[in-house]
Amino acid sequence: MAVSTLLATFLCIIVLPVLLFLVAVRLWEVYMLRGRDPGCPSPLPPGSMGLPFLGETLQLLLQRRKFLRMKRQKYGYIYRTHLFGSPTVRVTGADNVRQILLGEHRLVAAQWPASVRAILGSDTLSGVHGALHRSKKKAIMRAFSREALELYVPVIQEEVQAAVQQWLTRDPCVLVYPEMKRLMFRIAMRLLLGFQPEQIQTDEQRLVDSFEEMIKNLFSLPIDVPFSGLYRGLRARNFIHSKIEENIQKKVQASGRQSQHRDALQQLIDSSQASGEPFSMQALKESATELLFGGHETTASTATSLVMFLGLNPPKERGMDLQRLNLEYLEQLKYTGCVIKETLRINPPVPGGFRVALKTFDLNGFQIPKGWNVIYSICDTHDVADIFPNKEEFQPQRFMTSPSDSSRFQYIPFGGGSRMCVGKEFAKVLLKIFLVEVVTKCHWTLLNGPPTMKTGPTVYPVDNLPTKFTRYSHS
């Protein structure tokens, strides 16, 4: 009697919950796959949908690139999963990515996960479509014209020189990644949003901390309850918006005065006023926040990777003393450009891009159902690109020869198609100036050796890359 009671207890406490859980997972899988279009003969991509409601979001957030590599090895270049509240197909490889990037408005449309849309807003360049996207892009592109970039050079050089000088006087080490975020944040605030240095100084620490909190919670479960990632991200976003609104009001009040430099935010204000449409403070705040994210988070990631790779592979030659840089001089630095390209190949700051299927379509023999999210992978596509021999090695010279048109989608650090990063030329100029200044001024040593890299949402070193900088003496 006692044995049968124990057995019944064991079945109720252990076995039954496990069986119910397995049944729930199976029902979830069946429920999620109901979106398959019976009119399309192609099968769904292989893969799994993970846990009920959570999908595989937690595994991705915890394991990042390890999770993606494991999935690719198990399922191939196209597989299904469930991320950030939506059924998702992840796509790797130049031919597959080409179809996604060139299928904008026809097969797919840009769409961030729900948590990103909630935090960044719906009026961002990446969130709008059609004529509105074209007009916003046109306005912002004026802030990245050659004439504008030429005006940005001395400001970038001034900020980089001040940062490098601090690193050289700091002992015993510099945590490179936080320093890069602070440096690139200041540059983006000045050049993209038109903040004055004294404005930044007043709220710099709180702005940096708030932006860090917002970025950390961009990709989270779309649940807005106290203490959730989305809740914390929205609170941080609200503080950033309050400071941006103050700056917008100053710009609007001074709109009659002409200045030599029209930053990206000013271009959006001018475009809004010229259109004759009602002035939307919320739309401008959202666009400014997106500019700040795109203009500093990705460059901070790449600048950190530059310090890491050149710390592990010290440059054999040092440049000469520099006075004032200009675009013409920067364009002549071919090898410097190759160093940046190679860094972006191995450590693209953004691992991929988000789309949503506008209709059911076939991708290399698999059905992509209407309404499912599609993520094209930048990092995995670089990993499998056959145009790069010895992929694990840092070899900038591989970019000294121009790639053929057939290899176009094997290297996509800035995305591609009509949604290619609008600030890519700004990023290249900024990174070249940074590289020139740091290489001509410093030697440096990575105190922990090669770091472990993670993604969240951009690529960064887990140990923040502690580094010792010493002044370079010109002989």
CA torsion angle 380 424 291 356 (round to 10):
-40
Residues 6+ apart with CB under 8 A from 173: 447, 466, 467, 468
Strands 373-377, 86-91: pairing is parallel
Backbone conformation region of residue 194, classed left if phi is above 0, alpha if psi is from -120 to 50, else beta: left
The Cα–Cα gap between 295 and 148 comes to: 15
CA distance 34 to 36: 5
Instruction: Determine which helix (DSSP H) or strand (DSSP E) holds 80, and give its type and residue range.
Output: strand 78-83
**Distance separating alpha carbons of residues 454 and 152, to the nearest angstrom:** 31
Task: Give me Rg for the CA atoms of the chain.
Answer: 24
- Tell me the residue type at 63: Q
Structure tokens at 65: 């690139």
421 is in an annotated binding site: yes
Amino acid in the structure at residue 305: S
Question: Which residues are paired to 354 by β-bridges?
Answer: 375
Report CA-CA distances (Å) from 48 to 32, 33, 88, 373, 384. Answer: 10, 10, 10, 15, 22
Helix (H) or strand (E) holding 105: none
CA dist 387 to 185, 267, 395, Å?
35, 39, 13
Residues linked to residue 151 through DSSP beta bridges, in sequence order: none
CA–CA separation, 291 and 293 (whole Å)? 5
| Amino acid type, 347 | N
| Residue 385: closest CA among 404, 364, 362, 357 | 404
Tally of CA atoms within 13 A in the half-sphere of 455 that contains its CB: 20
Q: Which residues are annotated as a binding site?
A: 421
Q: Which residues are annotated as a binding site for heme?
A: 421
